[in-house]
Amino acid sequence: MATVSLEDVRKVYRGGVVAVKGVTLRVADGEFVSLVGPSGCGKSTTLNLIAGLEDLSGGTLRIDGAVVNDLSPKERDIAMVFQSYALYPHMDVARNLAFPLEVLGMSRADIDARVREVATTLGLESLLSRRPKELSGGQRQRVALGRALVRRPKVFLFDEPLSNLDAALRTQMRGEIKKLHERLAATFIYVTHDQAEAMTLSDRVVVMSQGEVQQVAPPRELYDAPANLFVAGFFGSPRINLVKPRTLGLPEGDDVVLGLRPEQLDITSSDVAGALSGRVYLVEPMGPESWVTVDVAGEHLVARAPGDFRAATGSPVCLRYDPAKLRRFDAQSGRAR
Ligand SMILES: Nc1ncnc2c1ncn2[C@@H]1O[C@H](COP(=O)(O)OP(=O)(O)O)[C@@H](O)[C@H]1O
Ligand SMILES: [Mg+2]
96 within ligand 1 shell (Cβ under 6 A): no
CB within 8 A of 213, min separation 6: which ones?
23, 24, 25, 206, 207
Nearest CA to ligand 1 atom 4: 13
Evaluate whether 242 touches 284 at the Cβ level (below 8 Å). Answer: no
Give ion ligand 2 contacts, CB < 5 A. Answer: 44
pLDDT, tens digit, 9 for 90 and up, residues 35-74: 999 999 999 999 999 999 999 999 999 999 999 999 999 8
User: What CA–CA distance (Å, rounded) separates 157 from 48?
Assistant: 9
User: What CA–CA distance (Å, rounded) separates 236 from 257?
Assistant: 17
45 within ligand 1 shell (Cβ under 6 A): yes
DSSP code string of 200-221: HH-SEEEEEETTEEEEEE-HHH
So what's the pLDDT on residue 67? 97
* Residues facing 157 on adjacent strands: 80, 189
User: What CA–CA distance (Å, rounded) separates 201 from 194?
Assistant: 11
Residue 334: pLDDT over 70: yes
pLDDT, tens digit, 9 for 90 and up, residues 211-266: 999 999 999 999 999 999 999 999 999 999 999 999 998 999 999 999 999 999 99
Q: How far is the CA of 34 from the centre of ligand 2 (A)?
A: 13
Can you tell me the mean pLDDT for 282-287? 97
35 within ligand 1 shell (Cβ under 6 A): no
So what's the pLDDT on residue 271? 74
Q: Closest ligand to 207 CA?
A: 1
Atom of ligand 1 nearest to the CA of 47: 17
So what's the pLDDT on residue 46? 98
Q: How far is CA 29 from the centre of its chain?
A: 19
Q: How far is the CA of 50 from the centre of ligand 1 (A)?
A: 15
* Domains in the chain: ranges and CATH: 4-234 (3.40.50.300), 241-330 (2.40.50.140)
So what's the pLDDT on residue 164? 85
Helix or strand or coil: residue 272? coil
Atom of ligand 1 nearest to the CA of 38: 22
So what's the pLDDT on residue 269? 78
pLDDT band at residue 166 using 50, 70 and 90 as cut-offs: confident
pLDDT band at residue 1 using 50, 70 and 90 as cut-offs: low
User: What CA–CA distance (Å, rounded) separates 268 from 166?
Assistant: 38
Sequence letter at residue 311 = A
58 within ligand 1 shell (Cβ under 6 A): no
With 0-12 / 13-18 / 19 or more C-beta atoms within 10 angstroms meaning exposed / middle / buried, residue 308 is exposed
User: What CA–CA distance (Å, rounded) separates 128 from 306?
Assistant: 47
Evaluate whether 124 touches 146 at the Cβ level (below 8 Å). Answer: yes
41 within ligand 1 shell (Cβ under 6 A): yes
Nearest CA to ligand 1 atom 20: 40
Residue 112: pLDDT over 90: yes
Residue 86: pLDDT over 90: no
Evaluate whether 336 touches 294 at the Cβ level (below 8 Å). Answer: no
Residue whose C-alpha is closest to residue 26's, from 12, 41, 9: 9
Q: Closest ligand to 21 CA?
A: 1
Residue 33: pLDDT over 90: yes
Nearest CA to ligand 1 atom 7: 13
So what's the pLDDT on residue 169? 87
Nearest CA to ligand 1 atom 2: 13
Candidate of 12, 18, 20, 44 to mutate for ligand 1, largest count of ligand atoms within 8 Å of Cβ: 44
Helix or strand or coil: residue 193? coil
